[in-house]
Amino acid sequence: VIDIRKLYAQTGMFTYDPGFLSTAACQSGITYIDGDKGELLYRGYPIEQLATNCDYLETCHLLLYGELPDAKKKAEFNDLVTHHTMVNEQMQFFLRGFRRDAHPMAVMTGLVGGLSAFYHDSTDINNPEHREIAAIRLIAKMPTLVAMAYKYSIGQPFMYPKNELSYAGNFLHMMFATPCEPFKVSPTLEKALDRIFILHADHEQNASTSTVRLCGSSGTNPFAAIAAGVACLWGPAHGGANEACLNMLQEIQDMGGVDKIGDFIAKVKDKSSGVKLMGFGHRVYKNYDPRAKLMQETCKEVLAELGLENDPLLKIAVALEKIALEDEYFVSRKLYPNVDFYSGIVQRAIGIPVPLFTAVFALARTVGWIAQLNEMIADPEYKIGRPRQLFVGSERRDVKPIAQR
């Protein structure tokens, strides 16, 4: 057997693969995607079964520890997470330094990185106990931080976590309750949000997860590595697509609604426009993203529950999907809806403002980032990530004195 890495190191050979189209950067046993079949498994379990039979914290347990919890372990894990839902009170002052109209992802990048300044006993990435407590803290505190960022942006007081509620229910409480009025969590919205969290929990070596691994490979602390993931997720080609998708549906609505979809698609097909169909296409799925199917189901349930079946953006999304799936441009390139196509409509129906969508994605993906980070650090073959380059710049030359340049 040839150890290709040793061979390359000895001969100075390396591969050139921009965008990692055909290069595996790691071995992983967490998430499996069959892009041709449109299949997604977390630790072997189909996403459809997890989304139907489990809640988000069970899914977190599965991703972190490799197995679904039994009832006792589930209760212990829930207790552990809820014990850490509050954030250090000083974090408020850090948050208050931001402009109120700052983008939530700008705020989240800062706050998540800032956790390392508050929890010094969990910053050694090579210490399994530090990693364990950092993992629990991050999973527990992300909803609190996202809700704080929202409350701050609208000038309302922060709502402290209510630990008797479910993970999703507590997030809804911290987002929408006020100290003035009683707030009742809607079971339908709670279930829908929990499903959004499950569907976004992990997705193997996507851009933000690879960023977390690369960042963590330098031995930095877990909070800093997760903050790097948040920053990467923000981009519209990745997690920012849910916000971009809803803005796109709104743009079509403003153009005149369903009748104008043809005009919009023509713009997408004209490459010089630079316009993409947001929420469509995926590097790995060359078939329907299974998460999009589940999200569409949830979307219909939520809108029916809220009496919003005639929501104009849902009508545009359904018609747009149908037209695109029959259009040669999309068919020949195997472009199908991805998870972001319907998740924005669900989040908006829940009452989550559009600029917060990607922060909700980050909240849900945190467990996946941590599971991947743990897997990497525990791997005896783990090395600092250090890509090579093909140098195409200037040859060696001499510096001239400034007067002669």
* Binding region for ligand ACO (CB under 6 A): 206, 237-239, 241, 268, 276-283, 333, 335, 338-340
Question: What is the smallest separation between the CB atom of 195 and ligand ACO, expressed in angstroms?
Answer: 15
- How far is residue 86's CA from residue 71's CA, in Å, rounded to a whole number? 25
Kindly state the smallest distance separating residue 276's Cβ from ligand ACO, in Å: 4
Is 270 noted as a catalytic residue in this protein? no
Number of other residues whose CB lies within 10 A of the CB of residue 113: 18
* Nearest CB to ligand ACO, comparing residues 238 and 260: 238
Q: 130, 282, 289, 311: which is the annotated catalytic residue?
A: 282
CA distances from 372 to 19, 249, 281 (A): 20, 34, 24
**Pure H helices in 66-101:** 71-83, 91-95
Residue by residue, DSSP assigns 298-364 as: HHHHHHHHTT-TT-HHHHHHHHHHHHHHTSHHHHHTT--B-THHHHHHHHHHHT--GGGHHHHHHHH
Strand order in the sheet with 39-42: 31-34, 39-42, 45-46
DSSP structure class, residue 158: P
Q: 101 has which bridge partners?
A: none
Q: How far is the CB of 122 from ligand ACO (least distance, A)?
A: 28
Tell me how far, at minimum, the Cβ of 126 lies from ligand ACO, in Å. Answer: 30
> How big is the CA angle at 164 (ends 160 and 165), to the nearest 5 degrees?
80
Catalytic one of 194, 202, 289, 340? 340
340 catalytic per annotation: yes
Nearer to ligand ACO, 116 or 296 (CB): 296
Residue 337 C-beta: closest distance to ligand ACO, Å: 9
Q: Which residue's CB is nearer to ligand ACO, number 103 or number 131?
A: 103
Using CA atoms, how far residue 335 sits from 182, 279, 289, in Å, is 45, 10, 10
Tell me whether residue 82 or residue 209 sits nearer to ligand ACO (CB atom).
209
Strand partners of residue 204: none
Residue closer to ligand ACO (CB basis): 281 or 368: 281
φ, ψ of residue 5 in degrees (nearest 5): -70, -40
What positions carry a catalytic annotation? 282, 340
